[in-house]
Structure 1
Amino acid sequence: MSDLSLTSPEIPLKIESLWPEILKRVPVSQLGICMCVSKKWYSLITSPVFISSHIKFISQTSCNLFLLRSFTKKNPQKNPKEFYYICSDTDAATVQTLETLTLKTFICPFKTRNGLQFRMVGSVNGVIYLSDDYFSTRYTFILWNPLVNCFIHLPKPRACFDLIGPYMTASGFGYDSVNDDFKVIRIVYPQRSDGLDETPPRAELYSVNEGKWRWVSGDNVHYCTFDKEWKQCFLKGSVHWVAYERFGEENNASHKSNLLLLFNVEKEKFMMMKLPLELREVCPLGLLISECQGMLCVNHYEMTEMVIGELAHYNLWVKKEYNKFTSWIKVASVDIRHSVVHEAIYLKNNGELLAASKSRHLLSYDPKTSKVVVLALGHPALYEACSFVESLAFLNKDCKNMRRFLLEEDENGSSDDEELSPEKLQSSKIGKLCSYLNQMDKFRRQF
């Protein structure tokens, strides 16, 4: 192999070909700065090919991040606050608080119509799926990437109250790596005259690449899911929900045979997965699905027999190997009646549980030693958490951008310039140029 001299014309070409490989390893917050370096880098970073390769690289590498959402409404007279925290999930030796765990904080820029929080359906590859549907039939669905401040408002779905009347619904969110496409799936169960959900349900899918809803086949779905929580998770190319098979009809109908209902976003097919034997015949209302550390998790809450709705025990089941049924194991068990832990939120990499107390304080709980560390004090209405990956998703899409890059000019600025003397006109242009550069600096620091 011949050596290339430093003056060889091939050297710049080889360096140029390395930039995509180098830049895709750069965190999103730093890529915002890189975009301001040159036109070439801006074109490269905002290109669909680079964004897709960056998502693929980040999703395949171990990223110790999770997203924590809190909703606080201390005073009913004041506007509620919905915060999103991107947190580090490293086993640090320092004393942990919410401040030390948090890398970046965002206030939700959207408002619900009833003043409640959005339903955070899930987060995939840096995009958060929000739905404004608590205690109402609304069709406000938002896909939001907070790191690049880009979002997409989804159009009204096909399956709606106007078309099918009363219904129950579940929703999921996933990423099609084959077609580089984010997809939203809705399962809609029309209500029968006897009050039960009709099966098979109607199913529709929204594709970001296509920009519209379309029907998909759900003829093989003979199971029901719950509208109350809409808990879902995305793992191994499929959306997962807790579902149950209904036996009997009308007054004799019962909820038994719990399982997991799956939807593969690449094949656009529904499938099923078995739960461990211990969870198949419990009340499905106490089962919540989640994904932590790249593993499938099922949170099982047992109710007390004396007081309806009062929690008694909490068990966390994890599937260590996704394609192996026998890999289901119980990794945590908490007696809620005699513990400060009231609700589990997220399983951290070190095996500790992110949890909430009855007083709504944020805790870190070690199931092995029962050690509790208070991370944050306060009285938020709720906490939620899920895995999170930084990405540039939607940066190149034709979507709305929260970062408005506008020059601060008077409405009649252009006509006023025509009446200025040459010296004052030049001074005015310099002033506008300085304003432009100042806003460019703000644009760079917002990343």
Structure 2
Amino acid sequence: MAGTSFFFFSSNQSLCVLFQVKNWKKKMSDFLAHDMFIDVLTRLPVKTLVRCACVCKSWYSFLTNPNFITTHLNRSSIANTDNNNNFLLVRSRSGDEADVVHYSLLRSENGMLCDDAELELPLKDPSDRFLRIIGSCNGLVCLVEDFHGYGRSFYLWNPSIRKTITLPPLRVSFQSHSPFMHSVGFGFDARTDDYKVVRIVHLWPPDDFELPPEIDIFSLSTGTWRNISHLGLQYVIYERAPQAYLNGSAHWLAYNRRMEGFFSLIVSFHMGDEIFGENMVPAGCTFYSGSNARVAKFQESLSLIDGIWGKTCSIWVMKEYGIADSWTKQFNIDTSVGFESVVGFTRKGEVLLGLNSGYLVAYDPDTERVLHLNIRGTTDRWCMDSFYGDAYTKSLVLLGAKLPNTGACEEAKKSKKRRAKHLYPKTFVISCIPKHL
């Protein structure tokens, strides 16, 4: 059989490597010096590497190695500052009952946000209209099915490689504990290279939240939930409060039970240490309703969005993390001129805003430029979950879990049975879109 040519192209076509391969059973490093080989592969886009994983067993083994995935991710994270891997994950709800859901990736290019890909969520359950995005980290997106607000199922999804993991059943459910309210955090433990989901459940009155909440944490490395209710959180977190993940911690707006229900502090949970912390909100900011304010991440800093439903929305930024006196009002947004709600921020500090007309725009507070993104949501102002928008980094995380059920190369299919039981626990349910990437 004649030699086979195999090309690698980067997304910007600036890198091209040609292998003339006569024996696919050879190791990849047989063709290049090891350091050069690693340098080449870590520069390639995710889509190309997923295809390469289907070439043969040795390539699959190398590309699904956690060390390589981490190295590739680190290079991608550095590239974010150069706009080479600067993406925005957007979810929108439209239709009369906000029952039409779209997921898409936008790419930052020359100061503009351009369409990169329309995403399909690879879940067979048709009730994705009830899915809520908790957050994204290193290319993974955490979702919860919040039908009736009780969080029946949890998922981890990597849109870049079209894979999801269904988390094991929950300890606390409506059937086991009757009505409750819950909040969820998602993040990364850098010390153990592990992804974690923490769930905080406050049981409904008549105890008036006097009992400490039920707390469980899921670890991707073990594939199980653990009960950590012994931590005894003394604060109440607003129901389904949006999180802000930064500095290794998830953050939520909360209140002290002894302060008559005013939301006056920010509770944090560190994914590595697995301990709770607290930060005070800016002086003079207290909120009787947690729905009128929320925490967010603004250019790597903790921020507070104050006045979501008012005529003026203020964006506060904590300049020095953990220092209450460093809170600074970054800017105000006049929401009486057609802006309906603050959705989030881009990496550059642009504000994602929902309009009264139902469209999503990016607003630059420095130049006051408004960029229409051609993404439509619902015009129902009571649908607080019309849009979700957050910075996103493409990654290979979860690539080694399993190869696609359809369209995978035969060599990889043979090897997956030997590897699957070592890569992730049997309690996982992996699904993917049966499409060629």
Bin for the TM-score computed over the shorter chain: 0.7 to 0.9
Return closer, same or farther for 1:82/1:138 CA change in 2, 3 Å cut-off. Answer: same
Partner of 2:236: 224
CA gap of 1:403–1:329, structure 2 versus 1, over 3 A, is farther
Residue 295 of structure 1 deviates from its aligned partner by 2.1
CA distance in 1, matches of 2:388, 2:210: 31
Output one character per residue of 1:74-110: Cα deviation in whole Å (capped at 9) or x when no partner: 5x6xx94422222223552xxx5xxx52222202233
Q: Flag the 1:236–1:55 CA change in 2: closer, same or farther, 3 A.
A: same
Which residue does 1:234 correspond to in 2?
245
CA contact (8 A) 2:241 2:294 kept: no
Q: Structure 2 CA distance, aligned partners of 1:261 and 1:327? A: 17
Task: State which of 22, 35, 50 in structure 2 corresponds to 1:32.
Answer: 50
Structure-2 change in CA distance of 1:282 and 1:216 (3 Å): same
Q: Distance in 1 between matches of 2:191 and 2:375?
A: 44
Structure 2 portions without partners, runs of 5+: 1-28, 380-385, 410-432
**Which letter maps to 1:26?**
L
Instruction: Verify the 8 A CA contact 2:343 2:353 in the aligned structure 1.
Output: yes
- Residue 213 to residue 197, structure 1, CA distance change in 2 (3 Å): same
Q: Which structure shows the higher strand fraction?
A: 2
Q: For residues 376 and 66 of structure 2, what CA distance do their matches in structure 1 show?
A: 42
Q: Measure the CA separation in 2 of the matches of 1:115 and 1:55.
A: 29
Secondary structure of the structure 2 residue equivalent to 1:279: coil
Which residue in 2 is equivalent to 1:293? Answer: 299
Say if 1:352 and 1:366, in contact at 8 Å, map to a contact too: yes
Asked if structure 2 preserves the Cα contact closer than 8 Å seen for 1:32 and 1:444, the reply is: no
Aligned partner of 2:214 among 199, 202, 222: 202
Q: CA deviation at 1:238?
A: 0.9
Quote the Cα distance in structure 1 between the aligned partners of 2:253 and 2:198. 15
Q: Which residue of 1 aligns with 2:187?
A: 174
Give the structure 2 partner of residue 404 of structure 1: 406
SS of 1:116's partner is helix
**2:253 and 2:267 in contact (8 A); partners too:** yes
Q: Is the 8 A contact 2:142 2:155 kept in 1?
A: yes
Match of 1:73 in 2: 95
Aligned residue type for 2:34 = E
Q: 1:386 to 1:396 in 2, by over 3 A?
A: same
| Cα distance change, pair 217–90 in 1 and its aligned pair in 2 (3 A) | farther
Give distance in 2, aligned partners of 1:264 and 1:18: 37
Q: Distance in 2 between matches of 1:351 and 1:340?
A: 20
Matching of residues 301-312 of structure 1 within 5 Å: 301=307, 303=309, 311-312=310-311
Question: 1:183: Cα distance to partner?
Answer: 0.7
Contact 1:112 / 1:118 at 8 angstroms: preserved in 2? Answer: no
Q: Output the CA distance in 2 between the equivalents of 1:257 and 1:444.
A: 46
Q: CA deviation at 1:235?
A: 1.0
CA distance in 2, matches of 1:23, 1:340: 47
Q: Distance in 1 between matches of 2:151 and 2:247?
A: 30
Q: Is residue 107 of structure 1 aligned with residue 107 of structure 2?
A: no
Tell me how far apart the structure 2 counterparts of residues 335 and 200 of structure 1 sit (CA, whole Å): 39
Relative to 1, partners in 2 of residues 1:168 and 1:396: Cα closer, same or farther, differing over 3 Å?
Answer: same
Distance across 2 between alignment mates of 1:58 and 1:325: 33
Residues 31 and 302 of structure 1: is their aligned pair in 2 closer, same or farther, counting only changes over 3 Å? closer
Note closer, same or farther for the CA distance 1:280–1:379 as it changes in structure 2 (3 Å cut). Answer: closer
CA-atom RMSD in angstroms: 3.0
The structure 1 residue matched to 2:395, chosen from 385, 391, 400, is: 391
Q: State whether residues 189 and 196 of structure 2, in contact with CA within 8 Å, keep that contact through their aligned partners in structure 1.
A: yes
Greater shift in the superposed pair: 27-36 or 119-128: 27-36
> Could you report, residue by residue, the CA deviation over 1:265-284 in whole angstroms, capped at 9, with x for unpaired residues?
11111111222113245643
Question: 2-side partners of 1:444 and 1:31: how far apart?
Answer: 17
Decide which moves more: 198-207 or 377-386: 377-386
Alpha-carbon distance between aligned partners in 2 of 1:243 and 1:112, rounded to the nearest angstrom? 33
CA pair 118-444 structure 1, distance change in 2 beyond 3 A: closer
How far residue 31 of structure 1 moved from its aligned partner, in angstroms, is: 1.6
Q: CA distance change for structure 1 residues 198 and 102 in 2, over 3 Å: closer, same or farther?
A: farther
Q: Matches of residues 21-170 of structure 1 in structure 2 within 5 Å?
A: 21-36=39-54, 39-59=57-77, 61=79, 62=81, 63-73=85-95, 80-92=99-111, 96=112, 101-110=114-123, 116-170=129-183
Q: Do the aligned partners of 1:301 and 1:315 also contact (CA within 8 Å) in 2?
A: yes
- TM-score normalized with structure 1 length: 0.75
Is the Cα–Cα contact under 8 Å of residues 95 and 378 in structure 2 kept in the other structure?
yes
Unaligned 5+ segments in structure 1 are 1-10, 249-253, 304-310, 408-442
Instruction: Report percent identity of matched pairs.
Output: 28
- Which residue does the alignment assign to 1:278? 284
Q: 1:198 to 1:108 in 2, by over 3 A?
A: farther
**Alpha-carbon offset, residue 323 of structure 1:** 4.4
* One-letter amino acid of the counterpart of residue 326, structure 2: S
2:143–2:154 Cα contact (<8 Å) kept: yes
Give distance in 1, aligned partners of 2:372 and 2:317: 25
Task: Write the distance in 2 (CA, Å) between the matches of 1:175 and 1:48.
Answer: 14
Letter in 1 for 2:104: Y
Secondary structure of the residue aligned to 2:40 is helix
Which residue is 1:356 aligned to? 354
How many matched pairs? 377
Structure 1 distance, partners of 2:312, 2:308, is 5
Equivalent in 188, 193, 203 of residue 206 of structure 2: 193
Report how far residue 161 of structure 1 moved. Answer: 2.5
